[in-house]
Structure 1
Amino acid sequence: MENVFYLSTNKHSDMIDITSSIEQWIRNNNVKDGIAVVSSLHTTAGITVNENADPDVKTDMLMRLDEAYPWEHPSDRHGEGNTAAHLKTSTVGHEQTLIISGGELVLGTWQGVYFCEFDGPRGSRKYMVKVIEG
């Protein structure tokens, strides 16, 4: 079973908590146990699991990614000028595999699932959730 989710992004770089959307979809579809694969359908946006309690963690992560991959680099050859966004997506990853148990995502106390925008703002972004029940 799978579903495509849509969202808009408002910033050049952002980490948007999508945990509740995934959890609601799992509940609505009566999934009790299995594996959920959450995948960004873009080359300049990723998916990660990280802290959802302190917003400074997101700020620091985005800042450090900018330090590692500066937006403009004199040797970049990609014509769109967003090589840094591609590198960030490859570093963060485009998908995460999550466990579902008892109808709930298995996440640690401070964990959330994030859609990571690295080339925004964008009016329409997509991510897919595919569940393998069992």
Structure 2
Amino acid sequence: MKMINVNTHKRQEFVDITREIEEIVVSSGVKDGACLIYVPHTTAGVMINENADPDVIYDVDGFFKDMVPQSLHFKHREGNSDAHIKSGLIGTSLMVPISGGGLALGTWQGIYFAEFDGPRHRNVYITILKGIDND
């Protein structure tokens, strides 16, 4: 297992971590298999979305702020219930196929760390699973 450190600078922020994960996949030497990406935090998550046009992530960010505002009255007194809800909606793990020694992402896809209770220092765990040889 490898780990990526992510430092966030805002309460809610989406950080493109595709390049760091791709480097781990390539250095593993695995040609075909899967990459498990896991975020061990209850107020953050990980998602795949378009990374060609920054307006997409801008819109996603705005949607989550509008959909679950921090100002709602929640029972949880830490003041971050909105972050817990957003993390649950996004999810904390992804499985991405590895093909030909790299991530099998679509042309416009990227992997984003989703911060909902920052700024913070966060971790993302990466596990590479080797596929079954078909020889």
1:79 aligned onto 2:88: no
Which residue number in structure 2 is paired with residue 16 of structure 1? 15
Which amino acid in the other structure matches residue 87 of structure 2? T
Moved over 6 A (4+): none
Aligned residues: 131
Residue ranges of structure 2 left out of the alignment (5+ in a row): none
In terms of mean alpha carbon deviation, does 89-98 or 27-36 score higher?
27-36
Deviation at 1:69, TM superposition (A): 0.4
Deviation at 1:11, TM superposition (A): 1.1
Which residue number in structure 2 is paired with residue 25 of structure 1? 24
In the aligned structure 1, how far is the partner of 2:30 from the partner of 2:23? 10
Deviation at 1:67, TM superposition (A): 1.1
Which residue number in structure 1 is paired with residue 41 of structure 2? 42
Which amino acid in the other structure matches residue 70 of structure 1? P
Alignment of 1:95-110 (within 5 A): 95-110=93-108
In the aligned structure 2, how far is the partner of 1:59 from the partner of 1:65? 10
Which amino acid in the other structure matches residue 27 of structure 1? V
Which amino acid in the other structure matches residue 131 of structure 1? I
1:133 to 120, 123, 130: 130
In the aligned structure 2, how far is the partner of 1:26 from the partner of 1:107? 13
Q: Compute the TM-score of the two structures, normalised by the length of structure 2.
A: 0.94
RMSD: 0.8
In the aligned structure 2, how far is the partner of 1:37 from the partner of 1:29? 13
Deviation at 1:30, TM superposition (A): 1.1
